[in-house]
Amino acid sequence: MAKKTFYITTTAPYVNADPHIGFALEIIQADAIARFHRQFGDEVAFGFGTDEHGLKIYRKALEAKKDPLKYCSEYAKKFDDLRKALNLSTTHFIRTTDKPHIKAAQEFWNRCFKNGDIYKKNYRIKYCVGCELEKTDSELSDGKCPVHPNLKIENYEEENYFFRFSKYQKKLLELYEKNPDFVFPKNRLLEIKTFVEKGLEDFSVSRLKKKMPWGVDVPNDPEHVMYVWFDALVFYISNIGWPENEKEFDLWWPVIQVAGKDNLRQQSAIWQAMLMSAGLPNSKQIFIHGFITSNGQKMSKSLGNVINPFDLVKKYGSDTVRYYLLKEIPSFDDGDFSYRRMDEIYNADLANELGNLVSRLTNLGETDSLTVTDKTIEQYNNKTIKQYNNFQFNLILENIWKQIKTLNKTIDDFAPWKKTPEDRKDFLLQCFKTLKSIAWQLEPFLPETAEKIIIAATSITKIKKIPPLFPRLK
């Protein structure tokens, strides 16, 4: 029987700043889902990439007195370093400055143009450079963008190409109606339906090259480059070979997209309309997560409370960072990060409960020269599968930790250290079988730790005590 294929991807982070904890959350969530599907026997594509065009990056490069591509390359490397630091199982990576992506964006443009959905007109806009988005008066507060209040709203009047977004109101509503889980959670689906029901306005998809040259060239018009959002969204399909490799595209598409709540409209409405225009199937599902605050405050450079994920990994290790974000940050709502809580989680959950469990069992196994030959094939129950499909990472981890606590209590009650090696052998073998099952369930969340436990708990020679999984914090 052929394996099922499964494609999941994050958004492409904009390379105008160092990676932050918010994107770490997104890509760790996607990684947990990707690893789960591999355990389930699926063939998985896990997409990742970087968004590298637009006015914001162009200005940043000029300020740094660097070539824009060189500037982007420096930041793209930082995101690739994040992938390694967080132990991510990505399979596909593309930069929007890569030639295959540029060709894909231009082919996508041509298909929308041939469908009559791209046209040229003069217009005036209010533009937030921070968001790289046009803003209506209703989206501004006292004339300022609520997301970037320190940046001046810029006014433009120029000739641009437009996409006929208004044409797709009915089709988008039909898409949502036929697919009630298309946007998850449901409150985000209701939010995007309300937005579309109010009516859609065509939006600009190009910029004059003489004003902003850093973008993908518009086919057959040397005076224009593509607006960054139009080109960036094509990343989801250029990353799996479209249009050069239609066979690979057909193998993987459609996709599950993981995105933040600030990306709701772009992912679940704009991008879906663009796919319809280009004659391509829509995405499979859009999972929308919330933001991370720091000690109850929104993160910002001015407050000095931006959390660097590399610093966290250096201090706590990648598995601790993964565990904290997947357990403590709500899947669908905003969640708070604090070093105090991180320390508590590390010591209580990881070092004491999980770490001590593994230490005491492997110590007993080594003392008794125990050999474990368990070959049980692990499987998930329907409840856990449903929780994965609903992105309920915290509930899955709560269940795993119940098993850890139960096993610890079982060991305490039996007190194997008071028994002879012969009297405790069968008990310990059962404990190692349970420990192996726990480690297998942990793999999507704590892959490095899970691997160490599985190796320790399934030794074909003799069990050996292993070093502490979570050493004392310095």
Q: In degrees rounded to 5, what are phi and psi of residue 236?
A: -60, -30
Q: Which fold has domain 339-474?
A: Isoleucyl-tRNA Synthetase; Domain 1 (1.10.730)
pLDDT given at position 205: 97
Q: How would you list the strands of the sheet with 292-294, edge to edge?
A: 297-298, 292-294, 335-337
**How many Å separate Cα 332 from the centre of its chain?**
13
Integer Cα distance of 205 and 117 in angstroms = 11
pLDDT given at position 182: 99
pLDDT given at position 356: 96
Paired residues of 294 in beta bridges: 297, 337
Q: What tokens appear for 438 in the block?
A: 């726990």
Integer Cα distance of 47 and 31 in angstroms = 10
Cβ neighbours of residue 152 closer than 8 Å, sequence gap 6 or more: none
Domain spans in the chain, listed from the N-terminal domain onward: 339-474
pLDDT given at position 21: 94
Q: How would you write the pLDDT of the chain (474 residues) with one tens digit per residue?
A: 467 999 999 999 999 889 999 999 999 999 999 999 999 999 999 999 999 999 999 999 999 999 999 999 999 999 999 999 999 999 999 999 999 999 999 999 999 999 999 999 988 778 888 887 778 777 888 888 988 888 888 887 889 999 999 999 999 999 999 999 999 999 999 999 999 999 999 999 999 999 899 999 999 999 999 999 999 999 999 999 999 999 999 999 999 999 999 999 999 999 999 999 999 999 999 999 999 998 888 776 666 788 999 999 999 999 999 999 999 999 999 999 999 999 999 999 999 999 999 999 999 888 888 877 767 778 899 999 999 999 999 999 999 999 999 999 999 999 999 999 999 999 999 999 999 999 999 999 999 999 999 988 876 556 677 888 998 886
SS (H, E, C) the chain: CCCCEEEEEECCCECCCCCCHHHHHHHHHHHHHHHHHHHCCCEEEEEEEEECCCHHHHHHHHHCCCCHHHHHHHHHHHHHHHHHHCCCCCCEEEECCCHHHHHHHHHHHHHHHHCCCEEEEEEEEEEECCCCEECCHHHCECCECCCCCCCCCEEEEEEEEEECHHHHHHHHHHHHHHCCCCEECHHHHHHHHHHHHCCCCCEECEEECCCCCCCCECCCCCCEEECHHHHHHCHHHHCCCCCCCHHHHHHHCCCEEEEEHHHHHHHHHHHHHHHHHCCCCCCCEEEEECCEEECCEECCCCCCCCCCHHHHHHHHCHHHHHHHHHHHCCCCCCEEECHHHHHHHHHHHHHHHHHHHHHHHHHHHHHCCCCCCCCCCCCCCHHHHHHHHCCCHHHHHHHHHHHHHHHHHHHHHHCHHHCCHHHHHHHHHHHHHHHHHHHHHHCCCCHHHHHHHHHHHCCCCCCCCCCCCCCCCC
Task: Report yes or no: 183 and 189 within 8 Å, Cβ to Cβ.
Answer: yes
pLDDT given at position 1: 46
pLDDT given at position 459: 66
Q: What tokens appear for 119 in the block?
A: 């046209």
Cβ neighbours of residue 455 closer than 8 Å, sequence gap 6 or more: none
